[in-house]
Amino acid sequence: MTTGLLVAASYQLSHAINDGSTGGGENDSPQNVNCRSCERASSDFDIRQHLTASSIWILPVGRGRPLLGNASPFWNAIFGGWQLSGIGRVRTGLPLNVTLSRSASALPDGINSSQRPDYVAGQSLYPAAGQTVQLWLNPYAFTAPKSGVWGNAGRNLLRAPGIWQIDTSLEKRIPLSERFAISLRGDIFNLTNRAQIGSSNVKWTDPAKGTTFGTITSPYTSTPVGTGTPREMQFMLRVEF
């Protein structure tokens, strides 16, 4: 900070693996209750890569700075003492677990919850022409299993869209006396206004009969604040005493 600039970054590469459990309960029910090892796959919360970078820059303007270093108290109060900061984050998407509806009579144990389809060998899991919100996953990569057997598609085989976002702020503190000061601040969240899209429909149905499998119809978040919202701006005037 002796130069007025601080930059920090961190990168995480990880892989969480389990058999469907989350905390003290089960988040993914096994398709075959007698084969827990068949459920071994990436955890529902597995984020493979996560990069975060942040910076704080005390702008070189005002008394004692390269620009307007001899400014009068009036002009220094206006142009001096500003601080620009920002944070950016990039992370890969969460796993997606493809399921389908099957009748109980088509299963060896009669338990038809959390059933998965068969993977069609040679087919790409994602559309060859590129992923869009209308078609994030390839419906032709799967097919219905034969009666009396479980599907061979692995749990959490696919990935939801990743997200990246840049947030910035500009702040100035104006001391009025030893006990009083005024702080001005403006923040912009999701500076680039990137569309943060959510997870796709993972309920597989036969594409020959019409399907919405692989479509994305919701944003990353529906809450008004936090990561994944559209661009938001806020302004603050604070009196400190």
Given a cut of 70, whether residue 193 has pLDDT beyond it is yes
Sketch the domain layout of the chain as residue ranges.
5-240
Lowest mean pLDDT across 17-21, 23-27, 81-85, 156-160: 23-27
pLDDT digits (tens, 9 = 90+) for 84-140: 999 999 999 999 999 999 999 999 999 998 999 999 999 999 999 999 999 999 999
Average pLDDT over residues 16-27: 72
Name residue, tokens 């749990």.
155
* Amino acid 3: pLDDT: 79
Average pLDDT taken over every residue of the chain: 91
pTM here? 0.83
Question: Which token pair is 118?
Answer: 């068969």
* Amino acid 25: pLDDT: 54
Q: What angle do CA 87, 224, 201 make, to 5 degrees?
A: 95
Dist. CA 180–CA 182, nearest whole Å: 7
Q: Are 37 and 19 in contact (CB under 8 A)?
A: yes
Q: Are 55 and 8 in contact (CB under 8 A)?
A: yes
Given a cut of 80, whether residue 23 has pLDDT beyond it is no
